[in-house]
Amino acid sequence: MSRTVYVNEEYLPEEDAKISIFDRGFLFADGVYEVTSVLDGKLIDFDGHAKRLARSLNELDMQEPCTEEELLEIHRQLIARNDLNEGLIYLQVTRGAADRDFVYPSADTKPTLVLFTQAKQIAISAAADSGIKVISIPDERWGRRDIKTVQLLYPSMGKMMAKAAGADDAWMVEDGFVTEGTSNNAYIVTHDGTIVTRHLSTEILHGITRAAVLNMANEAQMKLEERPFTIKEAQHAAEAFITSASSFVMPIVSIDGAAVGTGAPGPIAKRLREIYLEESRKAAL
């Protein structure tokens, strides 16, 4: 069955949704995006995603296509019109359509706004039960990874490198330290039970799930440290995991072929996944 999608103020069947070949998202990857998860027909961490979108737009001098209240209404309409119980909502804003020129078009160019749903089981997940395998690759992305742009070719290549190596995903490494996963934030748990994840900077995306999970870990009185770590430290850690809107908390059981901890999902990652699911269901909009 065809989905109903949203394009520039219209709800349309997916096959009728069109944008211009001059759209700067298409020509220059001049666009930003958000992915928000849906559980029980409700939005998880919507406020965080809306705030980060506003920040990404501001960093690129891009216009906000509508207000946060209007965005919430569009998300809710898409959930209702597609009868979405569990899955993801993808949102993209581009600088709009204008004749091809590296210089930004005039400020009155209308931004393009596109949203669509993806039905998907994410709360109950075979991958979360078994844990996933990652490989390490050099981080060859641009320097403003704190802006959630649609320049996803390198992360896409990274997933393909992982697949070719018989793994599920890749952790990117810069100057000897892990930055993040191709589409998620990276963590280890040391043998004294401390959760370690890289500090926020322009080198990584400021994950909305990361913020929520660190808050919950803090409230549960778990030990936290925000600092870089190496692949070697991760391979010798007690546990490793990732977080994102599409995977929540996902245990990692192998890095570059070396088993992490017991080679099975660790208790802290499992506990954080449970807490995150429980708390975010309660706070869902």
- The catalytic residues are 148
Residues facing 37 on adjacent strands: 88
Q: Are 184 and 169 in contact (CB under 8 A)?
A: yes
Shorter beta-carbon distance to ligand PDD: residue 97 or 149: 149
Shorter beta-carbon distance to ligand PDD: residue 100 or 227: 227
CB of 271 to ligand PDD, least distance (A): 18
Structure tokens at 68: 């946060």
Q: Are 198 and 229 in contact (CB under 8 A)?
A: yes
CB of 145 to ligand PDD, least distance (A): 6
Q: Following CA atoms 103, 150, 50, 43 in sequence, which dihedral angle do they give, to the nearest 10 degrees?
A: 160
Residues that bind ligand PDD (CB under 6 A): 35, 180, 183-185, 205, 207-210, 243-246
Q: Following CA atoms 154, 189, 215, 46 in sequence, which dihedral angle do they give, to the nearest 10 degrees?
A: 30
Shorter beta-carbon distance to ligand PDD: residue 34 or 239: 34
* Burial (CB count <10 Å: 0-12, 13-18, 19+), residue 211: middle
The letter for the amino acid at 178 is V
Shorter beta-carbon distance to ligand PDD: residue 91 or 98: 91
As a whole number of angstroms, the distance between CA 218 and CA 238 comes to 19
Shorter beta-carbon distance to ligand PDD: residue 97 or 249: 249
Non-local CB neighbours of 88 within 8 Å, separated by 6+ positions: 35, 36, 37, 38, 117, 118, 120, 122, 245, 246
Radius of gyration of the chain (CA): 19
CB of 142 to ligand PDD, least distance (A): 12
Shorter beta-carbon distance to ligand PDD: residue 82 or 149: 149
CB of 198 to ligand PDD, least distance (A): 10
| DSSP annotation string for 85-125 | SSEEEEEEEE--B-SS-SSPPPTTSPPEEEEEEEE---SS-
CB of 258 to ligand PDD, least distance (A): 23
CB of 174 to ligand PDD, least distance (A): 13
SS3 80: helix
